[in-house]
């Protein structure tokens, strides 16, 4: 059993880019699916798809295609977990950090679902700062 599934999600994506993989598989959960959706919408992932595992109708996985620029460099340079199981980080709408002066994004868990930091500020919502990406 994983003690931090979101940390595992971030690590698998980071390791996939470092190993120059084109596709990676991650165990499915609703939160991980939403995180993949946000990263895909922001242009950090090529695409993602939720799939049922072969010979198992109950468990699912997320198949993620990683995105590289024309020179073969990863689009996502760093992804780091902010709010951890041992120390949760909550901020109001005014306390949501700008990542790399607006070049990166913060993923925030709000009452309206997962949003980027900019979207949360625009809607005047605070919440748990899940991770930062640039």
pLDDT digits (tens, 9 = 90+) for 5-20: 999 999 999 999 999 9
Pick from 37, 17, 23: nearest CA to 65: 23
Give the pLDDT band of residue 2 (cuts 50, 70, 90).
Answer: low
pLDDT digits (tens, 9 = 90+) for 76-93: 999 999 999 999 999 999
Which neighbouring-strand residues pair with 65?
23, 47
Phi-psi region of 102 (alpha: psi -120 to 50; beta: other; left: phi over 0): left
Q: Is 105 within 8 Å of 41 (Cβ atoms)?
A: no
| Mean pLDDT value of segment 23-45 | 97
Q: What is the pTM of this model?
A: 0.94
Helices 30-41 + 5-18 axis angle, to 10: 40
CATH class of 5-133: alpha beta
Task: Report how far Cα 103 is from the mean position of its chain's Cα atoms.
Answer: 16
Q: Where are the domains of the chain?
A: 5-133
């Amino acid at each position: 059993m994983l003690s931090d599934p979101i940390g595992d999600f971030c690590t698998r994506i980071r390791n996939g880019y470092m190993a120059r993989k084109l596709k990676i598989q991650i165990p499915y959960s609703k939160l991980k699916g939403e995180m993949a959706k946000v990263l895909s919408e922001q242009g950090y992932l090529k695409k993602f798809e939720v799939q049922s595992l072969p010979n198992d109708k109950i468990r699912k996985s997320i198949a993620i295609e990683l995105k590289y620029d024309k020179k073969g460099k990863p689009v996502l340079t760093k992804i780091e977990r902010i709010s951890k199981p041992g120390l949760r980080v909550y901020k109001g709408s005014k306390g949501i950090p700008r990542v790399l002066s607006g070049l990166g994004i913060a993923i925030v868990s709000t009452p309206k679902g997962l949003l980027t930091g900019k979207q949360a500020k625009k809607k005047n919502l605070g919440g748990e700062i899940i991770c930062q990406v640039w």
